[in-house]
Chains A and B, each alone.
Chain A
Amino acid sequence: MDLKPANPNERRQYYREEWSVKDVPDFIRKSLIQREFGFDHMGRGPNDRYRVFQNIEYLRKFMRYRAPFAAYSSVAFYHKPRRRDGWIKAELVFDVDAKDIPLRSCGCANVCEICLGQAKEIVQGLVDTLSGDLGLSDIHIVYSGRGYHIRVQDDLVTRTDSDVRSQVLKYIVGSEVPRSEYSHDGMKYNLEHFTIPFAYPKVFTDRVKQAILSLDPSMELDGVNMKLIKDAIKHRRLLENDQWGIFRKNIGPQRYAKLVKGIASLNLTLVDAKVSIDLKRILRLPSSLHSGVSMKCTLIKNLESFDPFEDAVPNFVFERKD
């Protein structure tokens, strides 16, 4: 499918015929007056900001008549959203953009089914860790038009500061190599991450596995030479059956350490960290149109069965003549 930008007529058609204010998720509608809204009317970035809607009807009218190029709302809740003042709390957000996935196997210029599929896999892993390890449950996944937003609403985390958020980020993406040296009663022991089938070492093992299975000979990793990447690719089928010990032995322990260190620093780019750390971010409004690619920003009910090319394509795309 060709992801062409939407022209102003198509935008108007979408907001008048297809979009409904009911498509704006509950979690935004319920807190409407505490959020800041921002809009991009010309396709140059959201410069119409600090907007507040007193009720859902005003939002409906604005969207129908202005048919913005892009619409955003804040992840933060404010006492005075018009001034972005009186910060109360902010959703914890993770942004996985398909075009920025570090180990893209498709090599496309924008986004395509392959890298969007990869993004979906990454999102699934992140959500599993957020709910499994970190015990968070109020998690919404939104298709953003070029990737996915994970939006966590649990009260436990919405008042945390940027530093705590960055620690959560590093945990779920696996950006730190777990230590392998442990001691007990004065004796030192070595436990590699893949021998610990729970907690953070398990998260790290899963992310490393995902990365190695996506490796391509042309890819670059910090501190990892081409020969090592080729060797990792050569032996990676062992990881399909979780034969980590043999894989490490074949690669060599020191080279293995280099490989996982390179992957760890790469993992930090699985998500756009700035989005997670920023307590006053505005994020694309679910239900609105991503005019750059002519797709709907969509709240996902079931990630497994969600297909962006089925579920997030506005009607006007099918009516295009060219």
Chain B
Amino acid sequence: MVSISFLNPLSPEGKDIVRELGSFEAISQDIPELRNIVTHNPSQEIVDDDEIPSNYLELALKRMEWYIKKKNDRNFNARRYSFLADPAITKYDVISFYLLCQAIGVKFGPNSRENRVMVEAQGDLVQERLSKLHVDEARMMVEQSLQLLLADDRVHWTFFEELLSSRKIQLTDLILDQGELILDQEDFIQRFGPKIQHRNPLSMYQLLIGDELKEVIMVKLIMQATEDYIKQVNEKARIMVEPNPILLELADQLAEVLSEPMQRYGYGSNRGGGGPMKIGPLNPLAFPPCVKTAMEGIKSGGRNDAIVLFMTPFISYARLYPDVFRMNVTKRVSDQDPNLEIVENEILPLIYEAAENCQPPLFDDQPQEKVNINAKLGFGMHPSLKLEHEGETTWYTPMSCEKIKLHLPHLCKPDDVCKKIGNPLSYYNRMMWVLEHQENENSDDGEEDSNSGMGADSLSDVGMDSGDENLGEE
């Protein structure tokens, strides 16, 4: 019988395992039994003895290495990580999970790339482990996990508020009735059976909910719980004097594991090649239709949103950090433009030009919006850009297409390229590549630039939300 904690280390069983371990003393010590389990796994391929995890810390790093390689390495060999799907490692795996979360919590915090990768890796690992179980056992495990994760038999959809907010699940994917999520077969048939015609209600249940939806919800809940736990650790760490050095060391090693594919494959690009994109002058020919429209000026409502929330992040990232989504690393404007010369001479003039083209010109009646533009560049609510203010606010990432459709629907007039991307910045990168490619083809030497950024959108290809108010109007 597989333990629930193999899927969800944050379950009561998982917490018991952590309690049994007691102190940090044994964390770095060799665990012969763990090596034994790995070497005796029939599916395991061992190329080098160094690959066998010998203690909790090495196992923790292996967990992350598995995810990063699986995502980025075309030559990924799953058999070198077979032990991760072996329930025999449960009690070691649970400790490794906690160590990772704590290391990320104390060193990187909840808004870091490390946090995001950890949460995604946990989700993938749960799915991987389920896929290796017999179908009946997997079904039972999902049922049991859900019982623990869902507070009640009857769950209101707002229970999933966090999952909906982080878009881990879509409300439209849930089967709802009177506000409740329907997962149970009997409940389903009782509620919907009378409405179903020409079909067997039971087979409809199996298709619409069955194993698939339950598994999705379970996995997403575990991911959310992981994220919440890291956040909790981070909050505690802020009031603690000194984090355990073992955790800090693990955090550094983890950063190395995560940075390797960035150097080798380009994290999040799911392809070979990569490396940072070239940063250079903006090319308006590569702008997506929504940016071109905004540049001409907004002649209807929503001037503030268009200039402050949409154009400011787009123009600044396109010029200074076009592969933010591919790199998945948060930066400040000054990381890319130390003296703010590019911001002052290239970025702000372009944003101001778009503001001037509005009808009426935005700053004529709303000069305070210049302060809001500075805030969205990360320089706080101040009338001028000063390095000492940087960090008071966040440098907003460009709005996703989905958000533009909601906030600024009149800007969204998709062309053929738009269908392939989820963010205007990805459009810009793609078109820059195309334009560069054409240029190369037209020139005599015709060499391709393998470092150009045609990276696919990563999961984080989503702009931040507006915290601003709009004037109320109908």
Interface of A toward B, CB cutoff 8 Å: 38, 45-47, 49, 72, 74, 84, 95, 97, 132-136, 144-147, 156-157, 160-164, 166-171, 176, 178, 182-184, 189, 191, 195-200, 222, 265, 268-269, 272-274, 277-278, 280-284, 290
Cβ-defined partner of A274 (8 Å) among B164, B211, B305: B305
Cβ-defined partner of A273 (8 Å) among B165, B195, B409, B473: B409
Known: A169-B406, A284-B474. A184 touches B210 (CB 8 A): yes
A282 to B173 alpha-carbon distance, docked (Å): 32
Cβ-defined partner of B469 (8 Å) among A184, A197, A278: A278
Q: Given the complex, which residues of A lie within 8 Å of B210, measured CB to CB?
A: 184
A269 to B410 alpha-carbon distance, docked (Å): 10
Q: In the bound complex, do residue B165 and residue A160 qualify as a contact, i.e. CB atoms below 8 Å apart?
A: yes
A72 to B469 alpha-carbon distance, docked (Å): 14
- Quick one: closest B residue to A202, CB to CB? B195
- Looking at the assembled complex, report how far the CB atom of B370 sits from the nearest CB atom of chain A, in whole angstroms: 18
Q: Given the complex, which residues of B lie within 8 Å of A195, measured CB to CB?
A: 199
A290 to B204 alpha-carbon distance, docked (Å): 50
Q: Report the 10 A-B pairs with minimum CB-CB distance, sorted nearest first.
A: A135-B179, A282-B472, A280-B469, A182-B207, A273-B406, A167-B171, A163-B165, A197-B195, A135-B178, A199-B175
Q: Given the complex, which residues of B lie within 8 Å of A146, measured CB to CB?
A: 474
Q: Given the complex, which residues of B lie within 8 Å of A135, measured CB to CB?
A: 156-157, 176, 178-180
Q: In the bound complex, do residue A133 and residue B158 qualify as a contact, i.e. CB atoms below 8 Å apart?
A: no
A135 to B199 alpha-carbon distance, docked (Å): 27
30 A–B contacts, CB within 8 A, in A order: A38-B472, A46-B471, A46-B472, A132-B178, A133-B178, A135-B178, A145-B474, A156-B158, A156-B179, A163-B166, A167-B164, A167-B170, A167-B171, A171-B172, A184-B206, A198-B175, A198-B195, A199-B177, A200-B171, A200-B173, A200-B175, A268-B406, A268-B409, A273-B405, A274-B407, A277-B407, A277-B466, A278-B469, A280-B469, A282-B471
B residues 186-208 in Cβ contact with A at 8 Å? 191-192, 195-197, 199, 203-204, 206-208
Q: Given the complex, which residues of A lie within 8 Å of B302, measured CB to CB?
A: 274
- Looking at the assembled complex, report how far the CB atom of B204 sits from the nearest CB atom of chain A, in whole angstroms: 7
A289 to B208 alpha-carbon distance, docked (Å): 49
- Looking at the assembled complex, report how far the CB atom of B394 sits from the nearest CB atom of chain A, in whole angstroms: 16
Q: Given the complex, which residues of A lie within 8 Å of B178, measured CB to CB?
A: 132-133, 135
A171 to B207 alpha-carbon distance, docked (Å): 21
- Looking at the assembled complex, report how far the CB atom of B161 sits from the nearest CB atom of chain A, in whole angstroms: 6
A286 to B174 alpha-carbon distance, docked (Å): 35
Q: In the bound complex, do residue A160 and residue B204 qualify as a contact, i.e. CB atoms below 8 Å apart?
A: no
Interface of B toward A, CB cutoff 8 Å: 156-158, 161, 164-167, 170-180, 182, 191-192, 195-197, 199, 203-204, 206-208, 210-212, 302, 305, 405-407, 409, 414, 465-466, 469-474
A268 to B164 alpha-carbon distance, docked (Å): 18
Cβ-defined partner of A170 (8 Å) among B171, B174, B207: B171
Q: Given the complex, which residues of B lie within 8 Å of A183, measured CB to CB?
A: 207, 212
Q: In the bound complex, do residue A198 and residue B472 qualify as a contact, i.e. CB atoms below 8 Å apart?
A: no
Q: In the bound complex, do residue A269 and residue B409 qualify as a contact, i.e. CB atoms below 8 Å apart?
A: yes
A38 to B474 alpha-carbon distance, docked (Å): 13
Q: In the bound complex, do residue A72 and residue B472 qualify as a contact, i.e. CB atoms below 8 Å apart?
A: yes
- Looking at the assembled complex, report how far the CB atom of B202 sits from the nearest CB atom of chain A, in whole angstroms: 11
Q: In the bound complex, do residue B171 and residue A198 qualify as a contact, i.e. CB atoms below 8 Å apart?
A: no
Q: In the bound complex, do residue B199 and residue A163 qualify as a contact, i.e. CB atoms below 8 Å apart?
A: no
Q: Given the complex, which residues of A lie within 8 Å of B173, measured CB to CB?
A: 200
- Quick one: closest B residue to A222, CB to CB? B414
Q: Given the complex, which residues of A lie within 8 Å of B211, measured CB to CB?
A: 184
Q: Given the complex, which residues of A lie within 8 Å of B474, measured CB to CB?
A: 95, 97, 144-147, 272, 284, 290
- Quick one: closest B residue to A132, CB to CB? B178
A263 to B316 alpha-carbon distance, docked (Å): 35
Which of A38, A144, A199 gathers most chain B CB within 10 Å?
A199
Q: In the bound complex, do residue B204 and residue A196 qualify as a contact, i.e. CB atoms below 8 Å apart?
A: yes
A283 to B469 alpha-carbon distance, docked (Å): 12
- Quick one: closest A residue to B182, CB to CB? A199
A100 to B175 alpha-carbon distance, docked (Å): 31
A294 to B192 alpha-carbon distance, docked (Å): 47
Q: In the bound complex, do residue B465 and residue A133 qualify as a contact, i.e. CB atoms below 8 Å apart?
A: no
Q: Given the complex, which residues of B lie within 8 Å of A38, measured CB to CB?
A: 471-472
Q: In the bound complex, do residue A134 and residue B469 qualify as a contact, i.e. CB atoms below 8 Å apart?
A: no
A6 to B192 alpha-carbon distance, docked (Å): 52
- Quick one: closest B residue to A163, CB to CB? B165
A257 to B6 alpha-carbon distance, docked (Å): 42
Q: In the bound complex, do residue A189 and residue B469 qualify as a contact, i.e. CB atoms below 8 Å apart?
A: no
- Quick one: closest A residue to B412, CB to CB? A265
Which of B173, B405, B472 gathers most chain A CB within 10 Å?
B472
Q: In the bound complex, do residue A197 and residue B207 qualify as a contact, i.e. CB atoms below 8 Å apart?
A: no
- Quick one: closest B residue to A282, CB to CB? B472
Known: A167-B164, A274-B302. A199 touches B176 (CB 8 A): yes
Told that A132-B178, A191-B204 touch, could you supply 18 new A-B pairs with CB distance under 8 A?
A38-B471, A38-B472, A133-B179, A135-B176, A160-B161, A161-B165, A161-B465, A163-B465, A171-B171, A184-B203, A184-B206, A189-B207, A197-B196, A198-B175, A199-B175, A200-B172, A277-B406, A277-B465
Cβ-defined partner of B470 (8 Å) among A132, A278, A290: A278
Q: Given the complex, which residues of A lie within 8 Å of B191, measured CB to CB?
A: 198
Q: In the bound complex, do residue B409 and residue A197 qualify as a contact, i.e. CB atoms below 8 Å apart?
A: no
Known: A135-B179, A199-B177. A46 touches B473 (CB 8 A): yes
A53 to B470 alpha-carbon distance, docked (Å): 21
A148 to B423 alpha-carbon distance, docked (Å): 32
- Quick one: closest A residue to B207, CB to CB? A182
A168 to B171 alpha-carbon distance, docked (Å): 7
- Looking at the assembled complex, report how far the CB atom of A221 sits from the nearest CB atom of chain B, in whole angstroms: 13
- Quick one: closest A residue to B135, CB to CB? A185
Q: In the bound complex, do residue B469 and residue A274 qualify as a contact, i.e. CB atoms below 8 Å apart?
A: no
Q: Given the complex, which residues of B lie within 8 Å of A272, measured CB to CB?
A: 474
Q: Given the complex, which residues of A lie within 8 Å of B414, measured CB to CB?
A: 222
Q: In the bound complex, do residue B409 and residue A164 qualify as a contact, i.e. CB atoms below 8 Å apart?
A: no
Cβ-defined partner of B472 (8 Å) among A191, A265, A277, A283: A283
